[in-house]
Amino acid sequence: MIASRAGRAIDVVAVSARDRGRDRGLDLTGIDWHDDAMEIAGRDDVDVVAELIGGSEGIAKNLVETALSAKIGVVTANKALLAHHGTALARMAEGGGVALGYEAAVAGGIPIIKSMREGLAGNNVSRVYGILNGTCNYILTTMRETGRSFDDVLSEAQELGYAEADPSFDVDGVDAAHKLAILAAIAFGREVDFDNLHIEGIRHVTALDIAFSEELGFRIKLLGIAEQAGEGVHQRIHPAMVSLSVPISQVEGVFNAVAAEGDSVGNTLSVGRGAGAGPTASAVIADIIDIGAGRTAPVFATPVGDLKPARTESISSRAGRYYLRLMVIDKPGVLAGVTKIFSEESVSVEAILQRGRDPGEVVPVVLVTHDTDDAAMQRSLKRIGAMEQVVEEPRMIRIEDF
């Protein structure tokens, strides 16, 4: 099937990994083994190298650069590499007339690169956003379904193999940020800009906030959002409250989803598995078939020489609604103090939620604001957090009204 779709035979001629002795459930008879992966890029019978090692530096980067300079096509699942060096690698690939496929690097099995780069090529994209990390989505879904804490659900996810032993790349939002930087380059025709992305993970999301969120008609998702902002672009990863009526709010568990908004097409949403052997292989093989069939497109949709310089605006200029949860000592005057600060910072409050009363005890108070900007919200948070009656750091979650 693969040969037929590529229009030519695809032969695996050489392979490398760290441990030659490991049983991979595959018969590698007749395939050359290289202890040094770099040797593969030096063979003259290789047309395409699939780099599935990972990491933005070191062997993965060397291998990809060496292959591209030898005019060998590259297929990679390596989002970290593309987020950090995407523009330079695109220059090498396009300069040498050689393919660089990376479908597997963003949202695993969802063919979002092809969809954005080719299917939506006739659109001015105003926004692309998505659930770009299955581990975080699984944790948030399970917290909501069971009412358990982040730490508890993370440990279970590690036992089940849904989270790495070192989960920081996932739960702190870095992995999602790598993918968003790539999507933003395609969507807005700008050079890849990982360094200026705003990144917040999900460690501070609590079961209490998830419960309040549901009560208010929202679901909390770790979203990556890239959107036009004045002359530049906002690129940000953070927990967001999304109305239950917005389709992406219903994407649960390990699933990923990417929504794109274009001037001709309107709204699109793609959903599927973002990780795992099968979904990743699905994307890698699609790239290999494209190269076999001679189908190429500029790496980031716009020819690399025509990409505009990156211009990522600060999150301070993000405008929207905010959810704020305070733990306060229940006594007269607390809310008046909070609303005074808000009014001085020109933040207007849409709703206040306080469950029961318990004079003298600590109770949660939830406030939802009207549209305001991030800078005003940050200033308010600092001042509210310093109030004597506010006994925990205030929790703020941005509301996204898609």
Ligand X SMILES: NC(=O)c1ccc[n+]([C@@H]2O[C@H](COP(=O)([O-])OP(=O)(O)OC[C@H]3O[C@@H](n4cnc5c(N)ncnc54)[C@H](OP(=O)(O)O)[C@@H]3O)[C@@H](O)[C@H]2O)c1
Binding site for ligand X (CB under 6 A): 16-19, 22, 37, 52-54, 59, 77-79, 104-105, 108, 275-276, 280
Quick count: other Cβ atoms within 10 Å of Cβ 144? Answer: 19
The Cα–Cα gap between 134 and 252 comes to: 9
Rank residues 51 and 209 by Cβ distance to ligand X and give the closer one: 51
Instruction: Give yes or no: 61 in active site.
Output: no
Strands (E) located in 59-174: 73-76, 100-101, 125-131
Measured CA to CA in angstroms, residue 5 lies from 10, 277, 287, 318 at distances of 10, 21, 12, 45
Q: Give me the residues paired with residue 266 across strands.
A: 262
Provide, for the chain, the percentages of residues in helix, strand and coil under a 3-state DSSP scheme, each rounded to the nearest 5.
Answer: 40, 25, 35
Rank residues 162 and 188 by Cβ distance to ligand X and give the closer one: 162
Rank residues 58 and 217 by Cβ distance to ligand X and give the closer one: 58
Catalytic residue among 79, 114, 179, 221: 179
Measured from the CB of residue 63, what is the shortest distance to ligand X in angstroms?
A: 8
Measured from the CB of residue 139, what is the shortest distance to ligand X in angstroms?
A: 16
The Cα–Cα gap between 174 and 382 comes to: 25
The sign one gets for the Cα dihedral 192, 195, 196, 199 is: positive
The Cα–Cα gap between 220 and 243 comes to: 9
Token pair for residue 183?
Answer: 């999507």
Token pair for residue 148?
Answer: 């358990």
Collapse the DSSP code of 300 into the 3-class scheme (helix H, G, I; strand E, B; otherwise coil) and give the result.
strand
Report which of 22, 14, 69 is spatially closest to residue 39, judged by C-alpha positions: 14
Rank residues 131 and 366 by Cβ distance to ligand X and give the closer one: 131
Axis-axis angle for helices 174-188, 79-96 (nearest 10) = 30
Judge contact between 301 and 307, C-beta under 8 A.
no
The Cα–Cα gap between 111 and 272 comes to: 9
Give the residue ranges of DSSP H helices in 265-391.
277-292, 334-344, 374-385
Collapse the DSSP code of 243 into the 3-class scheme (helix H, G, I; strand E, B; otherwise coil) and give the result.
strand
Angle at 14 between CA 11 and CA 16, to 5 degrees: 140
Rank residues 78 and 302 by Cβ distance to ligand X and give the closer one: 78
The Cα–Cα gap between 217 and 204 comes to: 20
Measured from the CB of residue 220, what is the shortest distance to ligand X in angstroms?
A: 24
Token pair for residue 242?
Answer: 């999304």
Q: What residue type is assigned to position 170 of the chain?
A: D
Rank residues 23 and 151 by Cβ distance to ligand X and give the closer one: 23
The Cα–Cα gap between 256 and 273 comes to: 6
Rank residues 52 and 269 by Cβ distance to ligand X and give the closer one: 52
Residue nearest to ligand X (CB): 54
Rank residues 111 and 232 by Cβ distance to ligand X and give the closer one: 111
Q: Which active-site residues does the annotation give?
A: 179
